[in-house]
Amino acid sequence: MSQPFVQVTSPEGMSTPYLGQLNVILQCRREAGQLSITVAQAVDLAIPSSNQDDTSTCTVNPHVRGWIMPGHRDGFKTRHVMATQSPLFNQTFVIDMSYEGMCHRSVELAVLSYEGELRRKFLGQTSVVISKLDLSKEQNIWLQLRPPKKEKSEIGELLFSVCYMQTAKRLVFQILRAQDLTRPPHLKGPRSTYVKVELYCDDVRKAKRKTQPCVTTTDDPHWEEHLYFDLSRMLPKLPTISCTVKLMEKQTMHRNITVGKVSLGWEFGTTELQHWSEVFCNAGTYVEQWHPLT
């Protein structure tokens, strides 16, 4: 494919490390109520630092995942293209969406390298704000890839680590602490918070675990607890597992409310996807990350 007119966007400015570029083509089918997204190609994809010291893996096997945000969890993904830093995808995805709905959404895209059934290395992410495009005609755009950008949350943030124990067939969550938690002004005094983790396989909940409550008068509770999940019965379907991490507050003996949550899995947003991919690329290692609560 010949390279079209190049429009490079870099929200992070010149300080952003160069991770390559992604070419996408967007077209609005207004009468049909559809948005057409063609993932055309990528160029100059960066090789992860962990691969550069090993000549046998000094390459990438890229594919692209995308989401319409907010509100579209299922998303779409391209095929894998093996052993190239400049892959051609040329795959088109059609999303049912009214023209009015497009004006309030963005296209989020992540490029990953396929390293095995459960191993995906995060190569970069980018996004397109649909309302900034002239949807009366086809838009052929080049986007600069960037590292995951930490999103802000009005609810607060939660710090935890995850470890995939391949030999023991376990997934372990180490719940550490939260910070900057907001609270309705009518609630006074100490608050009792705990974290509940739910494990899903094929979108069916298979298990749940929770920490002990932390009673504190501050907005930064600490737990330092481990929650263990047995994966032995899910091994054939490990690529379909996902987790929801919920910060809960106990208000009365019979009433618990969800303060906020984080969802991890192959089908979720770029920050969550980056954490999830690091967990399975580093089996046996606890991968720690702050997550904004939603």
pLDDT tens profile 47-70: 987 655 554 456 899 999 998 887
- SS3 assignment, position 127: strand
Domains of the chain: 21-144 (2.60.40.150), 157-292 (2.60.40.150)
Give the chain's mean pLDDT.
86
Q: Does the pLDDT of residue 8 top 50, yes or no?
A: no
Q: Give 261-266 contacts, CB < 8 A, sequence gap 24+.
A: 261/293, 261/294, 262/158, 262/291, 262/292, 262/293, 262/294, 264/162, 265/200, 265/241, 266/65, 266/120, 266/239, 266/242
Residues 205-218 pLDDT 10s: 999 999 999 999 88
Counting residues of the chain whose pLDDT is more than 90, the rounded percentage is 56
- pLDDT value at position 14? 47
Q: Which of 91-105, 122-136, 183-197 has the lowest mean pLDDT?
A: 183-197
Mean pLDDT of 96-120: 85
Q: Is the pLDDT of residue 142 over 70?
A: yes
Report yes or no: 210 and 192 within 8 Å, Cβ to Cβ: no
Of the candidates 240, 260, 267, the residue with the CA atom closest to the CA atom of residue 117: 240
